[in-house]
Amino acid sequence: MAALTNKGLFYTEDLSSTLRVAQVLGLTSTAFLAGKTFAASFTAPALLLAPGPLLIKQWQKIAEFDKIINPAISAVGLGVFSFFAYRDPNPGSRHQILYTTAAALLATSIPYSFFLLHPIVEKLEEHAEVLAGDKITDYVNPKDTTHVLVDRYATANLGRVFLSFMAAATATWAAVDRLEIVPAVGKLVGGADRMGH
């Protein structure tokens, strides 16, 4: 009677449990950031249906949450990917380049936010002060109404969506690329050979 024996089909880098948790945390947090940032722009058309005073309150609520969550999530991903790039034993390897790229993309979102989104945020905060009362009309300047500014913010925010999505995709590629295919070894063993003779 013949028996088929198989060796492993796949080989992965032997990472400690702590490093695996860090890797999953970095990938998950960056993917979450990409989705959350996308949702901020994707839901803008629905928010724009509200009158100015309500719109600015809704935007403020979202912005207050984002000010706390987004930097924390970015810091987690940036720290994890920088660590994995640093600890790679082969300088210039594909994995090191991918993790460095992921960290750089997350880091780029900081100046992007400061230079492109911060001026819009300042104007929206001005609107929040003006519309803090029970006014039903929008802000006076016809070029910079609350609706125009929220729409502009949602459009500029798409750049952050791109940066965080590419960081998540690049880091995922680096993690999955550690998987190497090893040829399967199969052989038929018959008779006494099964017993080691």
Contact 63, 118 (CB under 8 A): no
pLDDT, tens digit only, all 197 positions of the chain: 444 444 443 344 566 788 889 999 999 999 999 999 999 999 999 999 999 889 999 999 999 999 899 999 999 999 999 999 998 878 888 989 999 999 999 999 999 999 999 999 999 998 888 777 655 555 556 678 899 999 999 999 999 999 999 999 999 999 887 654 444 445 555 555 555 55
Q: How far apart are CA 135 and CA 93, in angstroms?
A: 60
pLDDT of 181 reads: 44
Q: What pTM did the predictor assign?
A: 0.76
The closest of 187, 175, 178, 173 to 11, measured between CA atoms, is: 178
Spatial distance between the Cα atoms of 66 and 157, rounded to a whole number of angstroms:
12
- For 115, half-sphere exposure in the C-beta direction (CA atoms, 13 angstrom radius) is 6
- The secondary structure element, H or E, covering residue 134 is none
40: CB partners within 8 A, 6+ apart: 62, 66, 154, 157
Q: Tell me what pLDDT residue 100 has.
A: 95
Query: What's the pLDDT score for residue 183?
Result: 47
Contact 30, 99 (CB under 8 A): no
Question: What pLDDT is stored for residue 197 in this prediction?
Answer: 54
